Every structure is written in C-alpha cells, then in structure tokens.
Amino acid sequence: MAYNLLKGKKGIIFGALDENSIAWKTAERIHEEGGTFVLTNAPIALRMGQIDELAKKTDSEVIPADATSEEDLENLVAKSTEILGGKLDFVLHAIGMSVNVRKGRAYTDEKYDFTTKGWDISALSFHKVLQTLHKADAMNEWGSIVALTYMAAQRVFPDYNDMADNKAYLESVARSFGYFFGKDKKVRVNTISQSPTATTAGQGVKGFDGFINYAEKMSPLGNATALECADYTVTLFSDLTKKVTMQNLFHDGGFSNTGVSQEVMEQFAK
C-alpha cells in the first residue's frame, strides 16, 4: 500500500545487489512512495548483481562508487544532486563485508589486513559518506540518513565474527555524526538494527539457517523481513519522524528485549 510519504523527496541508495537485499526492497518501496533516487554500489558488486533491472523498474540511474574512496563519494554526491535536480532528502547505507568471514578465519585468528579492509567497507565508509555529504552541504534540512546494523554490536553471536565490531563502530558513527549533522544542518542520522535476514550478505555467516530459526522462535512477533525493514526505513525517510536522530532502532520482532521464549524453553525441557 502506498501513501505518497516520500513525494518529491530525492536521495541515494547504497548496496542494492539483488531482489533479496534490503536496499533493493527499500528502493522499490521508496519508488512506490513517490521518491526518486540514484542507485550506487562498488563496481564489483555491480558486475555480480542485477542492479540494472532495479534501475529500469524504478526509473533510476546507477553511479558506480567505491564507498571507501573519498574521490568516488565526492563524484557520486555531485552527480546525484545534478541528476536529481537539487539537494538530497535521504540516504541509505546498506553495505557490509567481512574478508575474515569470507576467507573462513575465526575471530580468534583474524588476519588484520582483512580486518582493516572489512572495517573500511562496513563501518568507516559510513563516516566517509556522512562527511562527504556534510562538506558538500548536499542534504536538505530535515533530511534523513539511515545505515543498517545488527544486534551483534551489543551481544555476542560467535559466528558473526569481526562484523560485530564493525557494526559497533558504525552505530557509534551514527551517534557522533548525528550530533553534528543535527546541529549544523537539521539532518537526522539513525541506524536500524534488523532481524537476521536471508540476504546474499547474511547467508555468508556460518550456521545462518539455524540462527534465523532461533531468532524466529525467540521473537514474539517473529523475524522482520527485508520488505518490512524497507517499510520501516520509509517511515524514517518521511516527515513523520523529524525528531528521531542518533538512535539505534531495533527492528526485530521484539528479539532484543526477550530473555527467553516458551518455544526455546520447550527445546531444552525435554
């Protein structure tokens, strides 16, 4: 159902890979709500994914950009405001990658070159995006910037590996930069801590299926889907949440506040 919540609003969406990705679903929902945007991803992700299909569907342009490169980001922001005809109202950061996870390195046996690269892509890139937007004065007043995170930033999920540290850093950047963006430009910055979601990125984590099932049994409302996350992101990009900033918002069916559920107890009471 569309409510025209983003009519006339313009933005950038990072990280749409395929139709399973949260960024992809969010792009579709923003389009339905009347928003226009530029799609961007790293050149390698553009080759791997099906972003052209999404661009056609949402009448959007694709600008390749490595989110770890200040030069690429400056070019992206300049071109986006040009294409969209003015300053931006929303930005979605949906990027994360752990080289240690990809290469099967345990948390207790990290290769630090991998760690640094993963941190740059998953966490520092958010600061780079925010700083580029701030310096270029590219956001409209009451604009909204959102990054996707996960509860492993607060609690231990052993197989989430160094991505947990990356997410903790990402959430801290949202708070710290959120202060300055709010003060200087009246722009809000938040993170959404989403349920484990069956995306291409998510499935790279070891034991992921068991993990999704566990979260489903623990959450009173069940896991939030990628589409539901897209809906929640739309509310944060809309004018209905103007005073929500510097928050880490749990979108997880109640998982984060549940100690144990009846279903999980039953597994162990046998």
160 is catalytic: yes
The reply, when asked if residue 167 is annotated as ligand binding, is yes
Q: Active-site residue among 107, 160, 179, 214?
A: 160
Q: Shortest CA distance to 167 belongs to which of 185, 186, 154? A: 154
Band of pLDDT at residue 205, cut at 50, 70 and 90: confident
212 known ligand binder: no
Domains of the chain: 10-268 (3.40.50.720)
Catalytic hit among 3, 107, 112, 150? 150
Least confident of 43-52, 122-131, 239-248, 251-260: 43-52
Q: Was 15 annotated as part of a binding site?
A: yes
Q: Is 142 helix (H, G, I), strand (E, B) or coil?
A: strand
DSSP string, 210-260: HHHHHHHHH-TT-PPPHHHHHHHHHHHHSGGGTT--S-EEEESTTGGG-S-
22 in a known ligand binding site: yes
Indicate whether 95 pLDDT > 90. yes
Q: Which two tokens stand for residue 267?
A: 């597994």
Statement: residue 208 has pLDDT above 90 = no
Report the pLDDT value the prediction gives residue 28, as an integer from 0 to 100. 98
When computed from its CA atoms, the radius of gyration of the chain, rounded to whole angstroms, is 18
Residue 206's pLDDT is 75
107 a catalytic residue: no
For residues 179-194, give the mean pLDDT: 98
Residue 144 assigned to a binding site: no
Q: What's the helix, strand, coil split of the chain in %, to 5?
A: 50, 15, 35
User: What is the C-alpha separation between 114 and 69, in angstroms, rounded?
Assistant: 17
Give the Å distances, CA to CA, from 101 to 151, 155, 235, 262.
17, 18, 32, 32
pLDDT, position 114: 98
Question: pTM for the complete prediction?
Answer: 0.97
